[in-house]
Amino acid sequence: MNGGRRLSLEEARALVCQIMAGQGLTDSVGASLANALIAAESEGQPGHGLSRIPAYLGQLKVGKVNPEAKPTVRQPMPAAQFIDADGGFAFPALDLAFESGSELARKTGIAAISVHHSHHCGSLGYQVERFASRGLLAIMVANAPKAMAPWGGKQPIFGTNPIAFATPVEGRSPIVIDLSLSRVARGKVMLAAREGREIPDNWALDVDGNPTTDPQAALAGTMAPIGDAKGTALAMMVEVLAAALTGSTLSCKSSSFFDDKGPRPHVGQFLIVIDPRSGADSFAVSVRELAETILTEPGVRLPGMRRHLAILDAEKNGINVSEKLLEELMQYPGASE
């Protein structure tokens, strides 16, 4: 690709770890961030990847993210866990959810995991796929700062509030579904604004509710929902699960992920993790049959296949990082070629 530099995944992870260490974060927190950001880059979601680092560090500097956060877990009911992200980055809390939630689902058949006092959680597909790689099903929802109006309105109330699902498939890589409830993730608009590019006119609306190709006008306005009224209905469902149920800040009251203004976002994430052994013995056969039936029609692919191919390509060929972004990242303490 033109206008960028190719980094191997190992080089990119090392760079993130170096930058985070230069900010005084522990090795484990740095590794957690590096794994999540590079996973997003690998699957073709750069808006959730390295481009987030400048905003993250600006928020660390003013305390909008707690640099000394220590996520904790408690179990209020037999199949439920409540994880406090302690105002820090979401990724260490979600690593804790992955380990403790997997164990609980194996014991009880199902685990309901609430994460609160959290922050931007990046690619949900990365999170749910980890469970599927252990033979578990996973559903995840997350709320985010306001960016989307209720259908027919102009004032943002909901975040882009993504939904993700992953299931193991016998003999294949997991099927992963990762959907923003806006037509595109807001991070893509933010990335276009950073790079001075126009956006398609069906991604977002300006403050007057009109379609716009200007990413700055889009960021000041609202994101267009997927499926029109259906998208905003699903966004409300996510808001109830990820914010109300977890005791987190509603999207309409949360501060931005993109700047250092305001209090900590304190958004939430909610996961349901299921051990297939709690269901029918025919589960594995049925899922495999479903996948194979879908693939019998020429030109049809399973959900997440494009993402999977992008990951394989990134593992082989690395990721492309714009020269502008790389130059910015190299200015931080600890960063080295």
Topology of 66-182+225-302 in CATH?
A: Ribosomal Protein S8; Chain: A, domain 1 (3.30.1370)
Cβ proximity of 98 and 140 under 8 Å? no
Task: Give 240-274 pLDDT, tens digit per residue.
Answer: 999 999 999 999 999 999 899 999 999 999 999 99
CATH class as words, domain 1-62+304-337: mainly alpha
Beta bridge partners of 4: 322
Kindly report the pTM of this predicted structure.
Answer: 0.93
Q: How far apart are CA 324 and CA 305, in angstroms?
A: 30
Count Cβ atoms below 10 Å from residue 295 Cβ, excluding itself: 13
Tokens read off for 63: 């305390």
Q: Closest by alpha carbon to 158, among 170, 142, 172?
A: 142
Tokens read off for 175: 């099927």
Q: How far apart are CA 261 and CA 242, in angstroms?
A: 23
Task: Give 112-124 pLDDT, tens digit per residue.
Answer: 999 999 999 999 9
What was the pLDDT predicted at 36?
A: 98
Q: Which of 43-57, 187-201, 285-299, 321-335 has the lowest mean pLDDT?
A: 187-201
User: pLDDT at residue 309 above 80?
Assistant: yes
DSSP state string for 128-157: HHHHHTTT-EEEEEE--SS-BPPTT-SS--
What was the pLDDT predicted at 1?
A: 42
User: pLDDT at residue 65 above 50?
Assistant: yes
- The mean per-residue pLDDT over the stretch 292-297 comes to 96
Q: How far apart are CA 52 and CA 230, in angstroms?
A: 29
Q: How far apart are CA 174 and CA 311, in angstroms?
A: 13
pLDDT tier at 336, thresholds 50, 70, 90: confident
What Rg, from alpha-carbon coordinates, does the chain have? 20
- The mean per-residue pLDDT over the stretch 306-325 comes to 95
pLDDT tier at 195, thresholds 50, 70, 90: confident
> How many CA atoms lie less than 13 Å away from 245 in the CB half-sphere?
21
The amino acid that residue 184 corresponds to is V
Tokens read off for 164: 């993700």
Domain ranges (residues) in the chain: 1-62+304-337, 66-182+225-302
Give the chain's mean pLDDT.
95
Task: Give 76-111 pLDDT, tens digit per residue.
Answer: 999 999 999 999 999 999 999 999 999 999 999 999
User: pLDDT at residue 186 above 90?
Assistant: no
Cβ proximity of 248 and 256 under 8 Å? no
